[in-house]
Amino acid sequence: MVISMSEELGVKTKKSENFNEWYIEVIKKSGIADYSSVSGCMVIKPYAYAIWEKIQSLLNERFRKLGVKNAYFPLLIPERLLKKEEEHVEGFSPEVAWVTIGGSSELEEKLAVRPTSETIMYESFSKWIRSWRDLPLKINQWVNVVRWEFKNPVLFLRTREFLWQEGHTAHATKEDAEKEIEEILEIYREINEEYLALPSVRGKKTEIEKFAGAEYTVSIEHMMPNGKAIQGPDSHHLGQNFSKAFDIKFFDRDEKERYVWQNSWGFATRQLGIMFAVHGDDKGLIIPPRVAPIQVVIVPIYQEENKEVVLNGSRKLYEKLKEKFSVHLDDRDEYTPGFKFNEWELKGVPLRIEIGPRDIERDQVVLVRRDSGDKSSVPISKISNEIENTLDSIQKSLLERAKKHFEEHIEKVEKYEDLERIVNGKWALGGWCGDPACEKKIKDETSAKIITIPFDLNENPPDGHCVVCGKPAKYNVYIAKSY
């Protein structure tokens, strides 16, 4: 039996009409992840996990150059450790999952399933660090964390368990720590823009929005297709808040004992969800070539009488390309070419090669771009170069398209009355006096919030006024609803 089309395969929801429904439909139909019987916990299937592994290796390579070493710390954190830094525990306790029973006996002390690992790691840091020679100490771990969300779970974007890397460092001086905050944010920007093709707004979080226990938080913010904001990777300067709570001290060069300065920073699997959401279209996912598990899929087109010739030609092509690209030959006999086109489009493979009997005769193939649908005939002799150029071009155009969407969905806000309208589908850009009371008013009255104080728009002091109270603005800020 030949399977030609499947009702199941087509995406029914239009992205432009209902983004939320479109997203869930595409993620499920593309077969990259699934819900599990634990509410809010997801199954990441091999195709998506391969993208995560790619990101891991990109980040590991860059962290290594900064002197960061990978290690592993326990999943379970004793309650007394979690309580040591006051703001930290206050910020996290509403979403901590606890282990209270071991076998059949009640535990003497509750154990938290790690929501983040500052506390368990810094207990060790206080034993490891003695002198200035031990600094800087730079440790990273690749783990899962659990945060008991109560909102509706959404695959990759909002799950109770997710994967991430968390870097934790200790420095002799504040300057050294702050320099690293910038280096890490630059690495995150590079991965986002150059690999995931995601435009990145870099900026500082307000006091209200910063990480619980940090002196300040810098982050990368992304715009979703529906104009809402979602936070990407972030980096926290912890000052000496934790080193004082955990007694992490060192003897400096002058023999005086001092507390270390600390940072923590993280990049999570949510980033995959943002990438899927931003680039996908009504046919399914579009994976940027530089992180795509399959960059090129070869689909042979044949009838019974020319099957052998076409398949042989396809195999030869596959052998030729596999050295240079991650390529897949779809030679399944029970599916029609049309079915295969749909399936690989749904999975977002950036480039498809169609090869039929006439192509074999002419020593050529047809290339089809996933992003634009453009088709072109290419001589086999030039195929390698052509693929390389086309993948490059897809990578660039995905980023450009996302940047254009971002720019088109920013609107300057002068009057408070306009805010509610703007944040319904866009980000508002306006002045803020810096007073938390004005920030709180926005949050309470508009269901939007100040998502970031962007670096690039605050190089010079702004000349406008606070959109809430009308006093002179201290910062330019983006105000948006968050996803």
Which positions touch Zn ion (CB under 5 A)? 433, 435, 438, 466, 468-469
**Minimum CB separation from Zn ion for residue 90, in Å?**
26
Q: What is the DSSP string of 113-177?
A: EPS--HHHHHHHHHHH--BGGG-SEEEEEEEEEE----SPPBTTTB-SEEEEEEEEEEESSHHHH
**Minimum CB separation from Zn ion for residue 448, in Å?**
15
* CA dihedral over 6, 8, 13, 14, signed as positive or negative: negative
Nearer to Zn ion, 201 or 467 (CB): 467
Nearer to Zn ion, 410 or 469 (CB): 469
Nearer to Zn ion, 62 or 471 (CB): 471
Nearer to Zn ion, 131 or 458 (CB): 458
End-to-end CA distance of the chain: 45
**Minimum CB separation from Zn ion for residue 208, in Å?**
14
Nearer to Zn ion, 82 or 438 (CB): 438
Q: How many residues does the chain have?
A: 483
Q: Are strands 97-102 and 76-78 parallel, antiparallel or unpaired?
A: unpaired
Query: Alpha carbon 341 to chain centroid distance?
Result: 28
Nearer to Zn ion, 149 or 435 (CB): 435
Cis preceding linkage at 136, omega within 30: yes
The DSSP H or E segment spanning 269 is none
**Minimum CB separation from Zn ion for residue 456, in Å?**
22
Nearer to Zn ion, 422 or 468 (CB): 468
Contact 395, 197 (CB under 8 A): yes
**Minimum CB separation from Zn ion for residue 91, in Å?**
25
**Minimum CB separation from Zn ion for residue 286, in Å?**
41
**Minimum CB separation from Zn ion for residue 468, in Å?**
5
- 33's CB contacts (< 8 A; 6+ apart) are 27, 42, 43, 44, 45, 48, 155, 156
Contact 26, 285 (CB under 8 A): yes
